Chain A
């Protein structure tokens, strides 16, 4: 009796001739980006396919999944699902998701298609192609999931345009631009490993559980549908890092440098998630601090313990992050509270009950540093003096977040770092961002920084209002400004029959 093939062998036999040899072309010329980063690959045959999926099975499963998903979108829409969310303030969280995160799925789609082309190993190429397809489906289903809200709420209507231009959306956009303009192996460590494996639970789980806790069935269902693909992405991320570390010892310092860089870059993007969790969800899931502890300190802690066998160490700024978890969300929300006139979602002062929740979750910092500030702002608002910051903020040259974060050992002192490169001085929010710049200044001097671009006259308009209206396409007085009294707020109250 012939022995039964296991799934791995079956897949190998099905796919092994998908590659071809180059008999009249130089293989090196066919894969021109494989060497320049210094990564050494000695044997692509050691690549272990992280998942064994053939296209026919892929179409079959995804078609079935999508059928289910769109049935739920339809039901959500027909039942006016938007009036069943906890509170219209919640919708601002998904405005942030659609403008800030969904376009990253599209960037991931393009990124994996591009780097997949660059690997001479067929296994890596096929895996990247599959992920590229997943990411395209994700952006589509996200747009469809949220399109229903666009009919009833402000702030959704120009999401791809805004993603390319608006100041705070340059934070996630530039993160992916940075990865996609790196070499193919760095992209895989940046996105495949650091983002999709180490940080993904801190990005998607908060948004999806946020949706679940706040009655947003469409987004929850999209989340489940996408998560069933994430496993492939996570195993690809793990295979990449093992493969690079096992192929050649010279790869270790390069991979370590990329891990350090991309965990910090990704973490900075998560500042948006931190404030979303602590401030934007009417029904809270857990605090940012708790999420960081569960999904990074515990989960990534055991990963780094295993990676230590390869000689990989935890980046040393992880200690800084551990201190920042007490402050990050409060400082980020305060930045947005100040600049709400320039953003495509609303902000507000947390209610008394929410302030108490924050005090409880952040006992060692909130009452001391942040509560008094929010209470003062609330008083001013009551007196009809809701304020907005009229200047434009200085941005960090690397993460592009306004320079509003503080020193962690002195939370009343703004953290400033700088470097001089070719006679120009560049500014950073942190040691993490400065280190990244100093390593590749030639790359980051080209950063497209929204504030600088406005001052240089590249965003049209003689004043901020014109820039917001014409260049950002913010619907003034509707998309932006304080939540209380906004058209969203008034409509919601009308639907709910409250004054």
Chain B
């Protein structure tokens, strides 16, 4: 039995298993909540319950006092859910977050395009309008696959009736295998959205850096298209990482945009180009391309990272060594269902990294 916990004021939703603490569920699902000791003695993770039933668990009477218990306060490192819950945490809502409502859609596949040997572009007609912020994702139900799978939206938000997804085939991944091998135009799919805190902080001053790896081009593609369509005049640089030319999809799209817009630059980087590629662009990892392009100095920009965890990790280190810090780095990690929950112990130094 699992329950849904809605975390205000951001509206993030996490699934918590019976007996699992709310903090554990949130951190494993990528939702940061303030915490320190992790065992009910320090009170850093104190939250207000707005609705729902729960057990306070093993919280120390000094960290969670009787009067606080009466007010419906909990320590999320100890508390477990007994129903769906809404809690209010000491976290910030981004002023650029539009908070479009999540809705359910019965979508129809209109077109499937082979973007690269491992990535397909899936085009869906939504059967209704979806308002979303460029960078956000949807949860897709796939026939015969338990649970939902998250995919970032690759098209710009001004196209309200349709959705474009970039799906990389994960060998032995049930969801992506179905999409790659069985899904065809005309099929119906259930999906819900939009979700996520990955979007352009339009109010942030300074120029923008996008770093994308593999099918993590999807969100940055939507974000760049949206910015250029809105006539944003700030400098925008998109770094796209791929293994070889064959995997470097949508290259023409961005080369064209770079020609049309003086403020947009496109820098592809290949880490293992084929000899046949006769590649003359940057060879190396995509974060290395960014370091080379900016001569290792990133401060004053805002960076958006999207792709597999090792790429994100390397990019964060590169950006921080170039003096761009957590508050100006936004990211979407593409985990596969097999990656599951992060198991490494983490320190409390960073909130989102």
Contacts and interface: CB of A to CB of B under 8 A. Distances in A.
Contacts of B349: 238, 242, 303, 306-307
Given A299-B345, A306-B347, A308-B317, 5 more contacts: A7-B90, A227-B37, A242-B325, A249-B323, A310-B320
Interface string A60-96: 0100110011000000000000000000000000000
Contacts of A7: 90
Contact of A228 (B42, B90, B91, B350): B42
A231 B67 contact: no
A303 B321 contact: no
Contacts of A235: 36, 44, 348
Given A231-B44, A309-B321, A299 B347 contact: yes
A310 B344 CA distance: 20
Contacts of A68: 61-62, 65
B353 interface: yes
Contacts of A8: 90, 92
Interface string B88-113: 00111100000000000000000000
A5 to B, nearest CB: 9
B348 A65 contact: no
B177 to A, nearest CB: 34
6 contacts: A6-B92, A64-B66, A225-B62, A228-B43, A230-B42, A235-B44
Contacts of A4: 9
Interface string B276-320: 000000000000000000000000000000000000000011001
Instruction: Please give me the 10 A-B residue pairs with the lowest Cβ-Cβ distance, nearest first.
Output: A231-B42, A303-B347, A231-B44, A228-B63, A227-B41, A306-B349, A309-B320, A228-B62, A7-B90, A224-B62
Contacts of B93: 6
Interface in A214-273: 224-225, 227-228, 230-231, 234-235, 238, 242, 246, 249
B340 to A, nearest CB: 19
B250 interface: no
Interface residues of B, number: 32
A65 B62 contact: yes
Contact of B348 (A64, A69, A238, A298): A238
Nearest to B9: A6
A457 interface: no
Contact of B317 (A224, A227, A309): A309
A303 B347 CA distance: 5
Contacts of B316: 309
A388 to B, nearest CB: 41
Tell me whether chain B's interface is mostly helix, strand or loop, or mixed.
loop
Which label, helix, strand, loop or mixed, suits the secondary structure of the A interface? Answer: helix
Interface string A441-456: 0000000000000000
A228 B345 contact: no
Interface string A309-352: 11100000000000000000000000000000000000000000
A302 interface: yes
A230 B43 CA distance: 9
Q: Which of B37, B61, B91, B347 has the most CB of A within 10 A?
A: B347
Contacts of A224: 41, 60-63
A52 B44 CA distance: 11
Most buried by B among A305, A309, A310: A309
Nearest to B323: A249
Contacts of A308: 317
Interface in B116-130: none
B36 A228 contact: no
Interface residues of A, number: 33
Contacts of B62: 65, 68-69, 224-225, 227-228
B75 to A, nearest CB: 10
Contacts of B320: 309-310
A460 to B, nearest CB: 44
Interface in B75-94: 90-93
Contact of A6 (B36, B91, B323): B91
Contacts of B350: 306
A242 B326 CA distance: 10
Nearest to A246: B325
A193 to B, nearest CB: 11
Given A6-B93, A8-B90, A302-B347, A231 B61 contact: no
Nearest to B321: A311
Contact of B67 (A64, A227, A238, A302): A64
A11 to B, nearest CB: 9
Contacts of B60: 224, 227-228
Contacts of B317: 308-309
Identify which of A7, A52, A235, A308 gathers the most chain B CB atoms within 10 Å of its CB.
Answer: A7
A45 B61 CA distance: 36
Nearest to B37: A231
A68 B60 CA distance: 12
Contacts of B325: 242, 246
B346 A306 contact: yes
A227 B63 contact: yes
Interface string B170-188: 0000000000000000000
A224 B43 CA distance: 11
Given A238-B349, A299-B345, A61 B41 contact: no
B42 A6 contact: no
Nearest to A245: B325
A52 B90 CA distance: 9
A7 B46 CA distance: 12
A172 to B, nearest CB: 24
Interface string B220-239: 00000000000000000000
Contacts of B67: 64
A134 B61 CA distance: 18
B65 A234 contact: no
A6 B91 CA distance: 7
Contacts of A302: 344-347
A65 B60 CA distance: 11
A230 B42 CA distance: 6
B330 to A, nearest CB: 16
Interface in A17-58: 52
B57 to A, nearest CB: 15
Contacts of A309: 316-317, 320-321, 353
Interface string B56-73: 000011110111000000
A299 to B, nearest CB: 7
B345 A298 contact: yes
A366 to B, nearest CB: 29
A291 B245 CA distance: 52
A246 B66 CA distance: 40
B132 to A, nearest CB: 21
Nearest to A249: B323
Given A227-B37, A310-B320, A64 B65 contact: yes
A228 B41 contact: yes
Interface string A267-310: 00000000000000000000000000000001100110111111
A46 to B, nearest CB: 8
A231 B36 CA distance: 6
A246 B299 CA distance: 10
Nearest to A221: B62
B52 to A, nearest CB: 19
Contacts of B43: 228, 231
Contact of A234 (B42, B63, B323): B42
Interface in B31-45: 36-37, 41-44
A6 B94 CA distance: 11
